Amino acid sequence: MSLRILVCVKRVPAPGARINVTDDGQSVETAHLGFTTSPHEECALEEAVQLTEANGGTVVVLTLGPPEAEEQLRYAASVGAHELVLVPTDGTAWDPQRTATALTEAIEAQEAAGGAFDLILFGNESADSGGFQVGVRVARALGRPIVNGIKGIEVGAESVTARRAVDAGSEVYELPRPAVLGVKEGLNLPRYPTMRGRLASKKAELVTAELDVEAGGQRLVALRQPEEQVSNTELLGDSPAAATAVVDLLEELGVLES
């Protein structure tokens, strides 16, 4: 069984980075930001690579973003992706409807040229906007089933079994192929690229898909940066004499009864 899998990824600010908003409130100040692939999508990519290593096949990675998003595509190649596709933008944030329309057109073009994808993987949501919409919109436009929140995938001859964690245990879904899944971080542990992989990624062919897509119904009004939460640390003591202060504090918090 040979699989053809598409993984859609997004370039996002590195987790833990300080995010500043431009003076006009319309975008994020990127001058001193590092960027990476959204964490859910890193797991989606790793799962796609593992599935093709076990069954044979091809992993295609697609992203929509500024020209700098080539960095994330090259990284995908360094850990096992075979084909790279960039839908370039001018760097401004696209609404979910416009993004999904562009991705759908790019996917249809890829399938017309290379055959249908057995599986299309999205991150459950992006690490920056967290809209939870794009994967669902694309799946609906393509007329394919989708389940989000996935933390387990098994591919059969004609179907895919997906597992989603819930409070009481797990939900298991069996979807006919081709299917779309939204993957959650924790599905696997993404690998680090080897030196050989990094060198090979520099030579990997990158396909650019120029698309002219109209904006959707949603419009960015403004980004607002919340006030920083400041916390203070109080040293209760550095000797056995501090024990009384610790007990008093625990009683104040209601941990101990008076």
Cross-strand pairs, 85: 62, 207
Largest Cα–Cα separation, the chain: 76
Residue 219 maps to a domain:
no
Residue 12 maps to a domain:
yes
Residue 93 maps to a domain:
yes
Residue 179 maps to a domain:
yes
Helices (H), 84-242: 96-114, 134-142, 195-203
Q: Of 22, 25, 33, nearest to 11 (Cα)? A: 33
| Spatial distance between the Cα atoms of 43 and 52, rounded to a whole number of angstroms | 14
**pTM to 2 decimals?**
0.83
Residue 221 maps to a domain:
no
Phi, psi of 4 (to 5 degrees): -115, 110
Query: How many domains does the chain contain in total?
Result: 1
Domain range enclosing 165: 3-208
| Spatial distance between the Cα atoms of 255 and 253, rounded to a whole number of angstroms | 6
Tokens at 159, concatenated: 């179907």
Residue 257 maps to a domain:
no
Per-residue pLDDT of the chain (258 residues; tens, 9 = 90+): 799 999 999 998 887 777 777 777 777 777 777 888 999 999 999 999 999 999 999 999 999 999 999 999 999 999 999 999 999 998 888 889 999 999 999 999 999 999 999 999 999 988 877 788 999 999 999 999 999 999 999 999 899 999 998 888 899 999 999 999 999 999 999 999 999 999 999 999 999 998 888 887 777 777 777 777 777 887 887 888 788 888 888 888 888 765
Helices (H), the chain: 39-55, 70-78, 96-114, 134-142, 195-203, 243-253
Residue 152 belongs to domain with CATH number: 3.40.50.620
Residue 170 maps to a domain:
yes
Residue 199 maps to a domain:
yes
